[in-house]
Chains A and B, each alone.
Chain A
Amino acid sequence: MKVKKWKLASFLLPCLLLFALIYLAPMCMVFGSSFFEWKAGGVFKFIGLDNYINAFRNDARMLTALKNTGIWVVLQSVVHVMLGTVIAFMLSKRKKGWKVLRTIYMIPNVVSAAALAVIFLNVFNAQYGIINSFVKTVTGKPFMKNWFFDQNSAFITVTWSWLLYTGMIIILVLAGVLSIPEDVVEAAKIDGATDMQINMKIRLPLIRTIIGTCEILAATSMLREFELIYLTTNGGPGDTTLNLPLYLYKTSMTDNNYGYANMMGVILIIAGVIVVSAINRLFKMNEADY
């Protein structure tokens, strides 16, 4: 059936308008104002690339935020996805209680970041936290590690608050593994393949695009991560746990330096595009296998 073009346009127009108003226009404003000195008090002056040059030449905190963001993107893409995939493969054996385990793994994903932050602050509390109490019980000696606010442990403690909670990855990978046609696996078994060989050479390649999707979700979640850091360490101690979204927020909200904050917004958008494109290429996301 041939649909008239004006009809198509009239149906698409509201959505296009919404997209333009809510995403496109602000993004253009962010991009444009990143070339301005724009501060509270009415300061608004074109300065070309100065914000970008200052960020990479003179702003040590910016470099720390970029480094931390990069490390978290890599950790989340590698460790988080790998862990989720392994657990999903184990659950796909459908041993007794696999549905309960699947649900338990999802719990951190359905709890709000604010509640999670409070939970973690209590779990890692120096005075009465469960971790310190456990160590004290095992060793029999007083143990007062201030996990979130000790410079040596803050980064790993913040990382802990998301790295191991792989519920979303498990759900996606598990759905992929369970949808692989059984006859493919049967054929491999008849040819004498072991379980490990079937997993590594049949199942894993067949869910390549799903793993790619997980990689995109995991990596971009770290480019957006804000609440848990803000509500636990606020980027501290010093700038130990500062990442780019939090630095952007502070630059905008406490320094009132909107132009510089928008420069960081542009860098985040560019980083997002690069990460997604790289994962798309690496996992050949446009090619289907079955």
Chain B
Amino acid sequence: MKTKKVMATVLSAVTALSMAGGMATTVKADDVTEITFPTSWVGVSVNTEWFQDRLEAFNEEYGDSIKVNVEEIAGDQNYVDKLKVLYSSNSLPDTFSTGGYNLIDSMKDQLVDLTDYVDDDWKKLATDACWDVNSRDGKIYGIPYTRQVIGYFYNKDLFAQAGIEKPAKTWDEFFEQCDKLLDAGITPLSMDTADSGWVTSLMLGAMIGESDEGEQFMNTMLPTDYNTKEFIDAATRIQTMFQKYTTPDAVGGKYENAASNFFMGQTAIIANGPWMISDFYDTSMVEDGFADKVGTAMYPGDVMYNSGKIGFNVASKDEKTLDATLTFVKFLTNEESQLKMLEITGDIPAMEGLTSDNVKPLVNEVIANGDKAAHSINDFQSLWYANVVDEISIQYPLLAQGEITPEEFAQALTDAAQKN
């Protein structure tokens, strides 16, 4: 009986102590400032190698005074969702980078206005377009480090088999080429619908951006009306693509399915950015020499995604951690880090004129296409409301199967946008 009493008392005390332990704060040395940085640059992310290199270099230089607490969260969507949870409890980390997802508009009340901290020297590390995407009402809420330059890739061997000499200049010609590929027994397009339907939505945006009005729409922040002629025409063509020119697993498929079909030579065309280029050389994904078969192209109408990209957002709550956070962000966005990113991932630096001899030739081709583009547009993930991006993925299957019309598709996105 006595033993039982002692055990019960101990258990009760342990429970109480563990509760108290949870509430306790971490004691840290005064001379080291700790900052928090959750990241999705882990595992198979294309940025993992770059981030590990930069973190190591940062720790070497600033490890005595700044400790970066890195929380690893695999998957971009999981990462964004985690940040939203932290936002709702007013506990955003000191800094975060969403890789293009626009959280500035929904979180700017908790983000630090960085305008006063960004001096002229820092501003030179990115183009005006990059700063514009990261600013609201003249206030800077994000520090850019890359640009979006996105066209499409095509398989030169499959094009040759179908008798196609060069990429199409108009969308009519593009669809004629798709027919030629079909006639040659080749599935023309890699497409997807899951997550944000990234590959498909890039095509959608490029079609919208073909005209001046469409280009303006594709550079409008947070549009709330998708019932425009350009959008509906583009959705009509996407419906045709789904029904005629893509693989059976496109509806419901993820980016990985679309990419895999292109890697295996089962499709001839995929829309994506230059960060994909390193995969063309990765023999665990593709056959040896695959990169030599890949060509780069502008979208018909000389359209390219050519814009700034959301960078590092800062949400430090006191001056000391803010100083440390800005030192960390400045390090990750400096010229050396941008150059490393170009060399390791193929992502285009935010700074104009920053090039390297150590990049894959296809990367330079994409950059050159970006410089030649007649219409430069921004990508939907940066521009559109998050719930619109989510709505796309559940409406695409209905559009693909003809269950809804392009007009109803546009209305569904409009309804979603107007919830905000």
Interface residues of A (CB under 8 A from B): 10-11, 13-15, 17-18, 40-42, 121, 125-128, 144, 146, 148-151, 233-239, 250, 252-258
Contacts and interface: CB of A to CB of B under 8 A. Distances in A.
Contacts of A236: 393-395, 397-398
A119 B42 CA distance: 24
A14 B15 contact: yes
Contacts of B251: 126, 146, 149
Contacts of B398: 151, 236-238
Interface string B102-144: 0001111100000000000000000000000000000000000
Contacts, number: 96
Interface in B228-248: 247-248
B420 interface: yes
Nearest to B416: A255
Contacts of B180: none
Given A41-B105, A126-B248, A238-B395, 9 more contacts: A18-B15, A126-B251, A150-B397, A151-B397, A237-B398, A237-B403, A239-B394, A253-B84, A256-B106
Contacts of A10: 12
Contact of A254 (B194, B249, B390): B390
- Label chain B's interface by main secondary structure: helix
Contact of B387 (A125, A128, A254): A254
A25 B394 CA distance: 35
A17 B419 contact: no
A151 B248 contact: no
Interface of B: 8, 12, 15-16, 19, 81, 84-85, 87-88, 105-109, 193-194, 247-249, 251-252, 386-387, 389-390, 393-395, 397-398, 401, 403-404, 412, 419-420
A254 B81 CA distance: 8
Most central of A11, A13, A126, A253 by chain B CB within 10 Å: A253
A236 B109 CA distance: 33
A250 B193 contact: no
B122 to A, nearest CB: 27
A40 B12 contact: no
A40 B107 contact: yes
B193 A149 contact: yes
A257 B420 CA distance: 8
A130 to B, nearest CB: 14
30 contacts: A14-B12, A14-B15, A18-B15, A41-B105, A41-B109, A42-B109, A126-B248, A126-B251, A127-B247, A127-B249, A146-B251, A146-B252, A146-B397, A149-B193, A149-B251, A150-B401, A151-B397, A233-B252, A233-B394, A234-B194, A234-B393, A237-B398, A238-B398, A238-B404, A239-B394, A250-B387, A253-B81, A253-B84, A256-B84, A256-B386
| Most chain A CB atoms below 10 A, which of B19, B81, B394, B412 | B394
Which 8 pairs of residues, A with B, have the shortest CB-CB distance?
A236-B394, A237-B397, A149-B252, A254-B387, A14-B15, A40-B106, A127-B249, A149-B397
Contacts of A150: 397, 401
A255 B16 contact: no
Nearest to B9: A11
Contact of A151 (B389, B401, B419): B401
B249 A126 contact: yes
Nearest to B81: A253
B19 to A, nearest CB: 6
Given A14-B15, A15-B15, A149-B251, A237 B8 contact: no
Contacts of B193: 149
Contacts of A125: 249
- With most chain B CB atoms within 10 A of its CB, the pick from A10, A15, A149 is A149
Contact of A238 (B105, B247, B403): B403
